[in-house]
């Protein structure tokens, strides 16, 4: 094999395919990037049995062939090569040489025959706007659990219904939900996608125009594929039943407060500095302000008030996880935020608060983002 390729194009392609690979892989062969060269250019692929990434780029191919080389090392090398064309060749002794200007590297070839087959996707599909989908992922993905003890909660549930694609995530303490337009087969289908993979899809494809989403496979090998331009990412779906969290969202939203989002974020960050780890922050919502109070170890105390407008009810005092609230406020992506106080049929259980966007003091936001946060018990 021998080919020449643009340095920037090649570096970007290698970086893309290795992003989804775990930092430490129990099978060394899965740390490789598969490079296939033929008359149409190069195809670069990476796969770890759960997620795969593939892209095609233009190149001048003198001798077609296929090689497997350590992905992260190749990515590090390609990103630091001088601004000149790259030539990659397989030498007679089996080593792989990477030449760019006066720089020359020799890398060990990994056994291509031991590399698993990259998943092929064929199934029902649809198209979503890339910017909406990328934003939705950033608004939902962080609410998924990071604890592998309950695998179904480490994923984001994608639900197709009619002309809408919903993204839902929860870690038991909060629920995040967002809808985006769906242009495709109007059949109800669901896919539980690992949040880590989906977040990378959002970062990579968020400005691609449109993204094609395809569902494929069956049984234990159900996969989902995301394609934009010359790039494709596939992911094995998480098996299991996602909890029915939609029913937790209230229909009545008459009792709520409207607050400036940026002001509230900064105040929460300041006041929570004195809190012990994992301790809740006390919020008191009154007619014209929200006051935050915190007390921690070493007799440290802090309080701050931010302007707010309370609608439809009496003053409310509750405890909230400050980090969970800050993450929700960052996802709102509007100048103001609406904090709605829900009611519960269970008098012994605290009712969650609902976070939604608010375009202005008087006007609710237009997007469908919703975030439920379970309050904490206040001990004093």
Distance CA 248, CA 31 (A): 42
pLDDT score at 302: 95
Query: Is 250 in contact with 340 (CB distance < 8 Å)?
Result: yes
What are the tens digits of pLDDT across the range 301-320? 999 999 999 999 899 999 99
Q: Which of the residue ranges 323-332, 344-353, 361-370 would you say has the lowest mean pLDDT?
A: 344-353
Mean pLDDT to the nearest integer, 72-79: 96
Q: Which three-class secondary structure state does DSSP give residue 236? A: strand
Inter-residue contact 25 to 61 (CB < 8 Å): no
- CB neighbours (10 Å) of residue 103? 13
Task: Tally Cβ neighbours within 10 Å of residue 156.
Answer: 28
Prediction pTM value: 0.91
User: Once rounded to an integer, what is the mean pLDDT over residues 131-156?
Assistant: 95
Q: Is residue 380 scored above 50 in pLDDT?
A: no
pLDDT tens profile 154-185: 999 999 998 999 999 999 999 999 999 999 87
3-state helix/strand/coil string of 22-69: CCCCCCHHHHEEEEEEECCEEEEEEECCCEEEEEEECCEEEECEEEEE
Tell me if 30 sits within 8 A of 23, measured CB to CB: no
Q: pLDDT grade, residue 75 (50/70/90)?
A: very high
Question: Which SS3 state, helix, strand or coil, does residue 186 take?
Answer: coil
Identify the three-state secondary structure at position 281: strand
State the pLDDT confidence band at 297, using cuts at 50, 70 and 90.
confident
Integer Rg of the chain from CA: 25
CA distance from start to end of the chain: 71
Q: Which helix (H) or strand (E) holds 135?
A: helix 130-140
């Amino acid at each position: 094999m021998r080919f020449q390729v643009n340095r920037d194009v090649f570096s970007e392609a290698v970086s893309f395919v290795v992003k989804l690979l775990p930092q430490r892989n129990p099978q060394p062969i899965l740390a490789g990037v598969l490079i296939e060269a033929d008359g149409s250019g190069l195809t670069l692929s990476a796969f770890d049995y759960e997620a795969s990434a593939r892209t095609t780029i233009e190149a001048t191919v003198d001798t077609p062939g296929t090689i497997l080389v350590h992905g992260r090392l190749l990515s590090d090398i390609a990103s630091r090569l001088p601004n000149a064309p790259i030539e990659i060749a397989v030498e007679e002794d089996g080593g792989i040489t990477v030449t760019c200007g006066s720089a020359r590297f020799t890398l060990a070839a990994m056994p291509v025959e031991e590399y698993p087959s990259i998943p092929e996707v064929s199934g029902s599909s649809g198209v979503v706007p890339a910017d909406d989908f990328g934003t939705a992922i950033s608004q939902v993905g962080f609410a998924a659990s990071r604890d592998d003890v309950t695998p179904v909660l480490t994923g984001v549930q994608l639900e197709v219904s009619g002309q809408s694609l919903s993204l839902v995530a929860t870690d038991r303490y909060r629920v995040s939900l967002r809808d985006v337009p769906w242009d495709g087969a109007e059949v109800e289908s669901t896919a539980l996608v690992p949040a880590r993979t989906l977040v990378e899809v959002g970062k990579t494809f968020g400005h691609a125009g449109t993204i094609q989403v395809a569902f494929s496979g069956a049984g234990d090998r159900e996969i989902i594929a995301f394609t934009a331009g010359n790039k494709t990412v596939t992911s094995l779906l998480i098996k299991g039943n996602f909890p029915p969290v939609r029913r937790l969202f209230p229909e009545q939203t008459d009792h709520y407060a409207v607050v400036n989002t940026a002001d509230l974020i900064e105040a929460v960050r300041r006041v929570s500095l004195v809190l012990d780890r994992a301790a809740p922050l006390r919020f008191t919502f009154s007619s014209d302000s929200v006051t935050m109070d915190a007390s921690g170890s070493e007799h440290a105390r802090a309080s701050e008030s931010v302007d707010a407008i309370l609608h439809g009810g009496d003053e409310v005092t509750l405890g909230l996880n400050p980090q969970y609230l800050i993450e929700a406020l960052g996802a709102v992506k509007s100048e103001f935020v609406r904090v709605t106080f829900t009611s519960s049929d269970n008098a012994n259980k605290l009712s969650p608060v609902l976070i939604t966007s608010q375009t202005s003091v008087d006007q609710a936001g237009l997007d469908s983002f919703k975030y439920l946060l379970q309050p904490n018990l206040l001990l004093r």
